[in-house]
Amino acid sequence: MTRLLQAGGPGEPAIAEAAALLAAGGLVAFPTETVYGLGADGLNPEAVARIYAAKGRPATNPVILHVADVAQAQALVTHWPAEAQRLAERFWPGPLTLVLPAADTVPAIVRAGGPSVALRCPAHPVALALIRAVGRPLAAPSANRSQHLSPTCAAHVASSLGEAVDLILDAGPTSSGLESTILDLSVPGVRPRILRPGPIPPAELEALLGPVDLWRGAVAPGAIQAAPGMAERHYAPRAQLRLVAPGTGIRSLGGRTAYVALGALPPLPAGILGVLLPLDPEQVGIRLYALLHELDEAGFERVFMEQPPDTEAWLAVRDRLGRASAKETA
């Protein structure tokens, strides 16, 4: 059985035990405000290698270093631009990851051999207490097998990673539900670029920085990843997910089928489970992964979900739905 300890914040025995495991090169899953992370000492290459093995993550996909404050972030980069300072003052701790030129102290395996490092200061008392107790940045991707759904509670971590993780710190469901917004500031003189939309929308970044670019590519499987981690199929449930225009008539194709509606549930054929989510991007963001996990657990084979409106407020949800419904290519 995977060990699981309830955790709330600094000073607890659970935090001390987790910190000792991390300092010894172990893997500890911990909560953040977005999703649970699979943590290791970010300056210990052997420990970070265990993350890749546990997740089945390709070596071409770098991991985020989690820090407790700006000073810890500054020690990991060759250059801390004024934009980074302004963003950190406004959004840290919070769901914003900054990609910056890496200092030599950042192990190559953290960067997947590249020149930059992704840094984030999570807004969760357990995550912050853990980073402070270890006294080093924690490498932590989402605590799930590569390509699968991200975990928004401890049970998701246990069912995805099982024995591969030494300890899970459990602080209940996460509050924001979708992974952090990733902003690339690593190339001087080039406009900041959103690599992954997330809880912090482009307009809030632009209010602070002026225009930012949105990267809309997908990387073919096996290709060297110029903007890594952006494989077309990602964040995927076991069930086959199909996005449909709201109001599309659907029929049962056999197998257990669910229909996820936004705002109002249309009449459905017998045998199809209707699920109603509010027409509210923040609420859908919070509940999306947990819902898909539940449908998987309950053995649903097909999930139809209404495509959300094509507006900026829905950008992060639409991004994850697009990846979760992409065809299996490998």
Query: By rule CB under 6 A, what string of x and - marks binding of each residue 15-34 to ligand TXA?
Result: -----------------x-x
* Number of residues located near ligand TXA, criterion CB under 6 A: 28
180, 277, 292, 293: which one contacts ligand TXA (CB under 6 A)? 180
Q: How many CA atoms lie within 13 A of 156 on its CB side?
A: 30
Strand order, beta sheet including 257-262: 240-244, 302-306, 257-262, 272-277
Bridge partners of 98, per DSSP, are 119, 183
Interface map 191-230 toward ligand TXA (x if CB under 6 A)? ----x-------------------------------xxx-
The Cα 108–Cα 124 span in angstroms is 27
Nearer to Mg ion, 142 or 325 (CB): 142
Rounded to 5 degrees, what are φ and ψ at 274? -90, 135
> Closest approach of Cβ 151 to ligand TXA, in Å?
9
Helices (H), the chain: 13-23, 45-55, 70-74, 82-91, 108-111, 125-134, 154-161, 202-209, 281-297, 315-324
Provide, rounded to whole angstroms, the least separation between the CB of residue 254 and ligand TXA.
Answer: 34
Nearest approach, Cβ of residue 225 and ligand TXA (Å): 7
118's contact among ligand TXA, Mg ion, none, with CB below 5 to 8 A by partner kind, is: ligand TXA
Q: What's the sign of the alpha-carbon dihedral 52, 88, 226, 43?
A: negative
Indicate whether 61 belongs to the interface with ligand TXA (CB under 6 A): yes
Q: How far is the CB of 54 from Mg ion (least distance, A)?
A: 13
Closest CA to 229 of 268, 184, 199: 184
Tokens 């929308």: give the residue.
201
Task: Report the residue closest to ligand TXA, judged by CB.
Answer: 229
Strand, helix or coil at 144? coil
Asked if 72 interacts with ligand TXA (CB under 6 A), we say no
Taking the C-alpha atoms of residue 249 and residue 256, their distance in angstroms, rounded to an integer, is 17
Q: Does 156 bind ligand TXA (CB under 6 A)?
A: no
What SS3 state is found at 88?
helix
First to last CA, the chain: 31
The item of Mg ion, ligand TXA, none sharing an interface with residue 111, based on CB under 5 to 8 Å by kind, is ligand TXA
**Among 14, 47, 54, 63, contact with ligand TXA (rule: CB under 6 A):** 63
E strand segments, 94-246: 96-101, 116-120, 138-139, 167-170, 181-184, 193-196, 213-214, 240-244
CB of 142 to Mg ion, least distance (A): 3
Taking the CB of residue 307, how many other CB atoms lie within 10 A of it?
A: 17
- Of 79-87, 151-159, 178-186, 283-291, the segment contacting ligand TXA by CB under 6 A is 178-186
In the complex, the smallest distance separating the C-beta of residue 252 from ligand TXA, rounded to whole angstroms, is 34
Residues 93-122 that bind ligand TXA (CB under 6 A): 95, 97, 99, 111, 114, 116-118, 120, 122
Interface with Mg ion in residues 110-169 (CB under 5 A): 142
**DSSP code, position 298:** T
Note the residues at the interface with ligand TXA (CB under 6 A).
32, 34-35, 37, 61-64, 95, 97, 99, 111, 114, 116-118, 120, 122, 140-142, 179-180, 182, 195, 227-229
Note the residues at the interface with Mg ion (CB under 5 A).
142
